Structure 1
Amino acid sequence: MRKICGVLRAHSTNPRYFTDDTGKPIYLTGSHTWSNIQEYLGPDPDKKFDYPSYLDWLEGYGFNFMRGWVWEEASYDNVATEKIYIGPLPYVRSGPGIAADGEAKFDLDTFNQDYFDRLRERVVQAGERGIYVSVMLFNRWSTNERPDAGKLAWNGHPFNKDNNINNIDGDPEGLGGRMIHTLALPEVLKYQEHYVKKVIDTVGDLENVLYEIGNEHWEDSGPWQCYMVRFIKDYEAGRLLQHPVGITSGGGAWRSLANQKVLDSPADWISLRPEEGMAYDTDPVAADGIKVNITDTDHIWGLGGNVDWVWKSMTRGLNPILMDPYEPIYGMSDYTVESWKAVNCRDHPTWEPIRRNLAYAKTYAQRMELEAAVPRTDLATSGYCLAQYGQEYLVYIPEGREIAVNLGDERGEFAVEWLNPDNGETVCGDKIQTANEKTFINPFSNAAVLYIARAV
């Protein structure tokens, strides 16, 4: 376990990665699941997520990052067709009056301290394991998505006019709550600002914190998200610690914020979706270092991913993470995306190879002089190469037996190591004395990872 040593900020010489007080690059990777901050387990309000066991499990893989999920609604969602329990929420339910889900209405002027105590406790516990937490502030999936999902999420949202005692109407145009994640509703924005300040007051002294404005927000949310990034930065400017703030895109089919708007934002870190010319699923775009890119299976497949994606992302200078059905989404059997239904369980064979290879990739990142390693599609014939030219190379070979690698102009001795992604087996090749281009033969019958380092 690596100790948390200061708040994250972009590395000065290789801003594809974060660093801390040690000055060393930090390669972020990990697994996240939907119930890791609030309970989001189904219709039984007494069912609880075993958070300590979850942290044990993350630590077992050596993961150092998770998204801390937030759900804005108290009941119903866009997957299950029945009422489910989500909580705690940031606001008390004191009434008077009954909300649409049959429970007491929310008082938006009074925070539920249990929510904030729980948030802090869980972030602290993760930090004790060397795990950074991206604290999600809002969630697009807490507004309505599609009409076949039964009681939709907006029915349980505190900003629904039927659910609060404060006369706040977050849906004046009948769009299922979509407007709350824009700048169109000043009264809603005031409550959001008050809530964000409370979150920062709760966890802003912790070094293992990042902020994420929200999950997969609508295409018209860009100005609101940029406003929130600046709002957080302004509020933290007078505090001891200033944390990285991120904006994420979403699956291209769901009308979420486009990649270019995310790239142009004031965010410190980003997560992008597949678009034309940006095939983050099959051929990831090499990171340019303008922002740290934490590439997430969530915004690429939803529930999905593969081993190829792990290594292609890593060798293109990205920080890959997995949205993991460690605790499955309740009600997925009723959902419309057939491919998600099949894999919505912790032990489905899709997941373990991805988890293991995320861990393998982190091990190589820790071995490398990452401060000088950049994606170089020109140095290996596969096109997947993270390298310090002439010194150190990590190459992914998705197929084929032969791979040619340009080892630089200066002749020297290089150590060679192969990794089999299928089983974690490593094979040390003979040391070589060479310069310029060298052809290597994959010792495995499947994909391989090749690590080459100049002997000291």
Structure 2
Amino acid sequence: MTTTSLRADGPLAVATRNPRYFTPTSGPRAGRAVYLTGSHIWNNLHDGMGPGPEGPAEPEQLDYDAYLRFLTDRGHNFIRLWRWEQFRSQAAGGNYHLNMEPQPWARTGPGTAKDGKPRFDLERFDESFFDRLRDRVIRAGEAGIYVGVMLFDGWALHLSPAPDHVEGHPFHAGNNVNGTSVTSIDDLQVQPLDPTVRDLQAAYVRKVVDTVHDLPNVLWEVANESAGGGAASEEFAKALGMDEPPVWGDSTEWQYWVIDVVKQHEAACGYPVHPIGMTMQFPVAEQTRVNEPLLRSAAEWISPGYDDEIFSNGRHPMSPGEPPSQWFADPPVADGAKVILSDTDHYAPGQGDALWAWKSFLRGHHPILMDFGLIGGLEPAGASPADTGEPPFELYEPARWAMGDTRRYAERLNLIDTQPDRTTASTGYALVNPGSEYLVLEPHGDGRAFTVDLPAGSYAVEWFGVASRDTSTADPRTIDAAGTAEFAAPFGSGPAVLYLRRIG
């Protein structure tokens, strides 16, 4: 087996001293908190994404080495590695095709699938898919990057344009030689499954685990935005070309089953245990309760969705004129019930800025960015055609650099001993290692003074400009008696971060 630069630290486990973070199970960093952050986009595993509803005969390829350089240049250390289940599909109302290859099953024929290529034999794996998966996880590890291996996708199975949301799937009738026929997401992700479908899925999951179980930089993710037993809004139905909003089943029990399959296979084979995650379901019957199935699950980490009261009754933070979700504008404090990978994909798709990254970090989350700026490539490419809706690459640069900046501070702090706190600083944003370290965000950027509650002692003072990315060191501050100390950023304008470290 090929070794990686992360092997010495072993797989991750939830840190017992601070369950908001992971820690390596062995090696020199065992017991230290691991903070994860990074940009991701749909085609970072498969080939076949590009503008327009139709794709070329040879699917477009992502330069994976360039993607890794893009991430490491910005200080990122996490990839959400996308699984796209269709070999023919679209997104954004047909602005993009996602005809994703390779798929896990061999294309043997006889007969042709919907894309004119040989039909799938669902009892034979395509080893090139699993070879690619292993290779990409290894190369990420060599770059110091952890990988969330997504096992299934839900969003594209019910919320991408018809008919290929189902007819572009290998399990649809006419696309395979095995007689397997699914007609909706319910046939793939709502219990009880047809035994044949269940067995095919379980075999695939075990094959994925067998492929990368020995690599220390692996996390699992069950699925992206599978249905939660709700109906899409009329707005969504119209965008998908449907006459009326459909109602889908609830994938919760199926996702719990996938978690069990992974955990049982790791245990039966004596494999290292890797953390598994469950992410927001959509749509759900009650939006304000969207995160409850995640919290009840056996998953070690979760990516929550918007649960704001204002978005009940079918409202959505993506709709014109709606305010942002709290998860973007003023994130709740992580209570340690689960490790939280806070993904803009689930509450602010298409958005992302530097303040979001810092606010999420200081509330005990791990911010990751659904980076639509990478749809057109890994570097600035000029203006995009208006009909694609493709955001410019530069739009997300502040968020990308800020994620790396938060990681650098996370690695300077004794993060395992910190707690997110709303009250220690008058700004409401602080990571606190009481009596030792204080990291405070002043989010307004108008030069106003703010206060920090500190015990007596002397503190080294460092300032960081969120937008300018400038660092400034001030004279140490001595607090003679425990109480409130006042500070003001030296930059004049722009949000700022204050880092206080006890000295002497």
Under a length normalisation based on structure 1, what TM-score does the superposition of the two structures give? 0.91
- The 3 A distance-change label for structure 1 pair 253 and 355 is farther
Compute the displacement of 1:378 (Å).
0.8
Judged with a 3 Å threshold, the aligned counterparts in structure 2 of structure 1 residues 354 and 132 are, in CA distance, closer, same or farther, namely same
Amino acid of the structure 1 residue aligned with 2:478: Q
**1:62 correspondence with 2:78:** no
Say which of 188, 192, 195 aligns to 1:180: 188
Conservation of the 8 A alpha-carbon contact between 1:393 and 1:451: yes
Using the size of structure 2 for normalisation, the TM-score is: 0.82
**Matching of residues 254-403 of structure 1 within 5 Å:** 258-276=290-308, 279-325=326-372, 327-328=374-375, 342=389, 344-345=391-392, 347-348=393-394, 350-399=395-444, 400-403=446-449
**Corresponding position: 1:241 with 2:272:** yes
Kindly provide the CA deviation profile for residues 36-60 of structure 1, in whole angstroms up to 9, marking residues without a partner as x.
1111323122532111111112111
- What is the CA distance between 1:407 and its match in structure 2? 3.6
Whole-Å separation in 2 of the counterparts to 1:46 and 1:208: 28
Structure 1 position 264, deviation (Å): 1.2
Q: Which residue of 2 aligns with 1:31?
A: 39
- Higher mean C-alpha deviation, range 196-205 or range 30-39: 30-39
1:141, distance to aligned residue in structure 2 (A): 2.8
| Kept in 1: contact 2:49–2:96 (CA 8 A) | no
How far residue 442 of structure 1 moved from its aligned partner, in angstroms, is 2.0
Letter in 1 for 2:221: E
1:164 to 167, 176, 191: 176
Q: Which residue pairs with 2:251 in the alignment?
A: 221
Matched residues in 2 for 1:381 and 1:340: separation?
Answer: 45
- The residue aligned with 2:241 is none
* 2:123 aligned partner: 109
Which string of whole-angstrom CA distances, capped at 9 and with x for unpartnered residues, describes residues 75-107 of structure 1? 122333686531000011112222223222211
Is contact 2:221-2:276 (8 Å) kept? yes
Letter in 2 for 1:279: Q
The ranges of structure 1 where at least 4 consecutive aligned residues each deviate by more than 6 angstroms after the TM superposition are: 251-257
CA shift, 1:16, in A, is 0.5
What is the CA–CA distance in structure 2 between the aligned matches of 1:340 and 1:358, rounded to whole Å? 30
Distance in structure 1 (CA, Å) of the matches to 2:225 and 2:457 = 48
Partner of 1:333: none
Picking from 471, 477, 483, the partner of 1:432 is 477
Q: Is the 8 A contact 1:145 1:152 kept in 2?
A: no
Question: Is the Cα contact below 8 Å between 1:93 and 1:106 reproduced in 2?
Answer: yes
Distance in 2, matches of 1:305 and 1:340, equals 22
Write the distance in 1 (CA, Å) between the matches of 2:97 and 2:389: 23
Structure 1 unaligned segments of length 5 or more: list them.
331-338
Residue matched to 2:141: 127
Q: Could you list the runs of 5+ residues in structure 2 that have no partner in the other structure?
A: 229-249, 310-324, 378-385
Partners of 2:110 and 2:48 in 1: CA distance? 26
Counterpart of 1:450 in structure 2 is 498
Match of 2:458 among 413, 416, 421: 413
CA contact (8 A) 1:250 1:298 kept: no
Contact map agreement 1:250 1:300 (CA 8 A) in 2: no
Q: Does the residue aligned with 2:108 lie in a helix, a strand or coil?
A: coil
Q: Residue type matched to 2:10 in 1? A: G
Please, which of 174, 190, 193 is the counterpart of residue 199 of structure 2?
190
CA contact (8 A) 1:183 1:189 kept: no
Question: Deviations for 1:112-158, whole angstroms, at most 9, x for unmatched residues?
Answer: 11100111011111111111100000001331326xx3653212101
Whether the aligned pair in 2 keeps the contact of 1:134 and 1:212 (CA below 8 Å) is yes
Change (3 A) 1:360 1:286: same
In the aligned structure 1, how far is the partner of 2:284 from the partner of 2:371? 21
Task: Give secondary structure in 2 for the equivalent of 1:106.
Answer: strand
* AA in 2 matched with 1:74: F
The aligned counterpart of 2:243 is: none
CA distance, structure 2, for counterparts of residue 327 and residue 143 of structure 1: 23
After superposition, the Cα gap between the structure-2 partners of 1:137 and 1:357, relative to the gap in structure 1 and judged at 3 Å, is: same
Quote the offset at 1:254 in angstroms: 11
Aligned residues: 440
When residues 289 and 72 of structure 1 are mapped into structure 2, their CA distance, relative to the original with a 3 A threshold, is: same
Letter in 1 for 2:152: F
SS at match of 1:453: strand
